[in-house]
Amino acid sequence: MSSTNPRKKGRRPQMDIIDTVDDDNAAQINIDPPATQEYHWHTDYSLPTSDRHAGRGACITATHLPLGTPSDDSFLPASMSFQESLTSYTQDKLLATGMSTLSFLDPDHEAPAEFASASNDNEGTRLSRPLGDHPLLIWKSQREEFLEDILRLESPERTNHSDCDKCGLEPGEYRCLSCIDGQMLCRACIVELHRGIPFHRVEIWTGSYFKKTTLGDLGLVVQLGHKLGQTCLIPAIVHSFVVIDVDGIHTVRMGFCECTRNVESERYRQLLRSRLWPATTIYPQTAATFRVLNLFQVLSFMSKVSAYEFYHTVARLSDNTGLHQPPDRYDSFLRIMREWRHLHMLKRFGRGHEQGHIEKTQPGQLALRCPACPHPRLNLPDGWLHNLQKRWLYRLFIAVDANFRLRRLNISDEFNDPSLNQGYAYFVEEEGFKTHLEKYGDVIPEEEKSTCNNHDVVKLANSRGGKGAAVTGIGAVVCGRHDMKRPLSVGDLQKGERYINMDYFILSTLSCDTPPDLVISYNIACQWHKKFFDHMAKYPAPLRLHQAERNILYLVPKFHLPAHILKCRNKFSFNFSAKVGRTDGEAPERGWAVTNALANSTKEMGPGSRRDTLDDHFGDYNWRKIIIIASTICEKYKDAIAARAQHVAEFISYEDALRVDHLDALHQWKAMVITWESDRAKPNPFAPTLRPVTENAVRLELALEEKTESSIEIRHDMSPSEFIAQGLQLEEAQARLIDDIKELGAHSTDLQRTRIQQHANRISCKIEAWTEIQKVYMPKTSLLRARDDDRRAPGIEIHPTKIPLYLPSTALRLGAVDTGPNNTIVNDERRLWLAQAHDTLAVLRDHLLLKSYLTIWRQRFSRGQRYGTRANNLMHRVERKISADATRYRVVYAALDAISTYLGRNEWKSGLLPLRAEDIRGLDSYDGMRSEGGEEGLQEALRIEWCKSRARAQRWQEECELLTEEIHRVKVTFQFYNNVWNDRARKVDLPGAKAYALKQAALWKELEDNAGEQWNDTLASLLPVSHEMPDVTLDLDSRGRSSVLSS
């Protein structure tokens, strides 16, 4: 009944069209006397190459044909009236199909997939959506059937007394809820069928309803020590043995074997060999199945569910009424789970395959190491230490941070709750750590005067974590590029983020086979690094690094860097530092976002339980990173290659323009930046010297005022000035997002739209967090937001660019801000707006100077399509920046004018004027440029832009090289572990140990092969554009139109 239409390759298969024919075709068909009309439901299925199957349906009318009438394709279309079918299919018939709520007669409702609509000109119409796109709506029409079948299961199929479905000899009164066959069995049969599956839930039919019972009550004995079906000569039966399983807590009759045929008489070992974990080793009365322990472990990794919540969930599966509660084995479950975590950690690291087994485990040996980081004795090439040109590729990046969410209350102690891991994994060994604190606590100063801003890390180093807290948080060291916890890198904090604690964690993990070249990222590196080696000289030998043998670069994470003074921002910047790629140093923050969900459960644990639990979670976090690290690196490499091409091309174009009239200056700038990269004490080529007061400077002033003025009320961890500053940043972020959306165009790619959406999501989250703080300093704005919510239609989500921030300058007009003498946020905003106005004008001026010079260069030297296109693209980017700068200045000026008028503070208008369109102009000649900006201002603007452009190109080039080296290290590491497990398999005799070793070897081999395949696929995908990649290793003076990107 449907015609087949050719489909274009790569497009989603469409529904076949129902052809209607014109009158001429109909006249050619000889039809017998009037035939009756029948309704037919036509369904069209398509089986595309993807996993998704599409089906489409339509209700049609067709003439009922007498027997013997030809049914060839030429006849069928003429006998159908698709348009008529829509009009004649009455509402009663729609009700009969259960589709009344989906009526396509409503012009505002999209026609459901079950019905086809036809146009007025009787042409065939394609359905817009496949049948399976509305499964919930389809199910909604079938709820009655679902409910009926669910209720049907509450009784046997035959409610009268019937025989057993298996033997037919006895009445079938029992059924198993865990089995899917639904058989009604007699007592003997249900016991016999469940001897190998004794933890199923069974019910008995009382004649009126089903009632819970147990297999133990029916006489089933779980016999251990023998194969299924064998009889034990001397069984020792425990009549009320409790087993915790995934679908409930069961009381069973457990039969232990004590006859001479059993080679293992220990009861706990009999349980283990039946995949039951005993709660005790002496006369066990409780056990947990391996599958419930594995389920909880993985579930806790993914959802961070606590043992309390999980155990009581299982208990409710046994009884959800509270009338027949199972025995309470919560404490036993906690103990079993700790043992399970610890033993499986030992197993996965091959401790059962080594002589000495557990006792000879070395510190940090049970920690999963990052396969992409350099490990001198594992994944580095021969001679790497003496390869001076490539040695920077073998740097170890580590990032240091503290977390005050993972605190612990003063519950239990080390004696009653010791750690089982004892420093084997990620946490440092507790006894040695406490000895270190006691011995050197008075030697290392707890708080030093900061030469940077008033950072909380330094200021609160000696503060305690609140009443009843035994541990205020944890400090940790992770690999800075891949966000994996390092061995012996985590420990407790007793007060704040003290140097003595963080020193110990850093030095402990650096003792684990690390290369001499390090990049250490720490949010207070500017302060901490000054005394690092001085402190180290006082520590014992195992915690010392030889300064002469170490080449350490100290940096501040990118997100934290703006909180530092200008000197620190220049000296400790990742963006300005050579040979670090695009590392951002913020890896610890990403890890905390995952583990913070454990805070509520771990704070109530004893010291050993908490450390072992966190060790296990850190291990799983590392494992999840390992199994995706190859794909992660490959995706980063694709992005890095594209970004490298863009920024290198822009730098070459920009430098080619400068070489015309500023060749000597280029040589000076190059020498200046190379000198600064080797010695940060030298003048910074990135730093401007001709700048008015900046926003960051004003923020520093406000912070200092808040520190010294007792009249300023601080009601939140975030100060009033920082609150306003972040609000201004959010307002600017909204404006940038609007510009980015405008740039998408009609033919934007999925990747571009995805990036915009991700950017919008981040802004939305930041605004949500900021508005929570706004409730503290500007509580009346909550009323404004409630009013906005009332006015907005239900279910309509507001776009992040349209969320009103209600800064004081706006809230003043609406009466939603307190203007009392103690509320400084209004004046803080005015001062910050004033600084932003100067900042924006300075940036606009730089971009106008850049545009003027690029215009001259394009007119003189840009010839040919390739260079002309490149120059036009660069000019377009500069013009976008100029437009954004102008828009930003006007927004700032308007806000500043509004708030200053309210405060009666308009003295600033003598230095800042409204920006008109005619004010935004470039110049036509170099001489004009000199008169507009001055030679000194021109030189500084060009130098800073050249340095930044060079740094961007260098960082992306370094990122490509680092990623290439990292994927090589990943493959070598996987190969190393494959060899280790194969070697273990050869050395053990126990069949199970050999099989496990071979399984692990196969796993690492598969990971190695997968990494190689993904890397090869990545390189293959980049081949078509490889010829477009510019050469980035040319010396500045070696070619006439090339430039330097490496020193």
| Structure confidence at residue 342 (pLDDT) | 96
Q: Reduced to 3 states, what is the DSSP secondary structure of residue 201?
A: coil
Give the amino acid at 629: I
| Structure confidence at residue 463 (pLDDT) | 57
Q: How many CB atoms lie within 10 A of CB 438?
A: 9
- Give which of 970, 1046, 962 is closest to 1015, Cα–Cα: 970
| Structure confidence at residue 26 (pLDDT) | 38
Q: How far is CA 707 from CA 123, 603, 700, 903, 994, in A?
A: 77, 32, 11, 24, 65
Q: How many CB atoms lie within 10 A of CB 444?
A: 18
Q: How many CB atoms lie within 10 A of CB 713?
A: 12
Q: How many CB atoms lie within 10 A of CB 866?
A: 9
Q: How far apart are CA 175 and CA 299, in angstroms?
A: 30
Give the amino acid at 453: N
Residue spans per domain, the chain:
23-147, 243-249+259-348, 384-606, 692-933
Token representation of residue 1008:
């190695």
On the 0-12 / 13-18 / 19+ scale of CB atoms within 10 A, 931 is exposed
| Structure confidence at residue 95 (pLDDT) | 41
Q: Reduced to 3 states, what is the DSSP secondary structure of residue 903?
A: helix
Are 857 and 656 contacting, i.e. CB atoms less than 8 angstroms apart? yes
H-helix or E-strand spanning residue 243? strand 235-245
Instruction: For residue 500, give the DSSP letter.
Output: H
Give the amino acid at 119: S
Q: Positive or negative CA dihedral for 88, 89, 91, 92?
A: positive
Q: Reduced to 3 states, what is the DSSP secondary structure of residue 19?
A: coil
Q: Positive or negative CA dihedral for 113, 115, 119, 124?
A: positive
Q: Reduced to 3 states, what is the DSSP secondary structure of residue 1035?
A: coil
| Structure confidence at residue 66 (pLDDT) | 47
- In DSSP terms, 408 is beta-bridged to 471
Long-range contact set of residues 717-721: C-beta below 8 Å, sequence gap at least 24: 718/773, 720/777, 720/824, 720/825, 720/828, 721/824, 721/825, 721/828, 721/832
Residues whose CB falls within 8 Å of the CB of residue 753, separated by 6 or more in sequence, listed in order: 744
| Pairing between β-strand 37-46 and β-strand 54-63 as defined by DSSP bridges | antiparallel
Q: Reduced to 3 states, what is the DSSP secondary structure of residue 203?
A: strand
Tell me the mean pLDDT per 10 residues along the chain, length 1047: 41 37 39 48 47 49 46 40 38 42 40 41 49 82 94 86 87 93 93 94 93 93 88 88 96 88 79 96 95 97 96 95 93 96 95 84 95 95 92 96 93 92 95 94 76 62 68 95 96 91 95 93 91 90 85 91 80 91 93 93 94 97 97 96 89 86 87 84 78 60 58 61 83 84 78 86 88 83 82 77 83 69 70 81 78 64 54 76 85 82 76 80 41 58 86 93 96 97 94 96 97 95 67 40 37
Are 45 and 12 contacting, i.e. CB atoms less than 8 angstroms apart? no
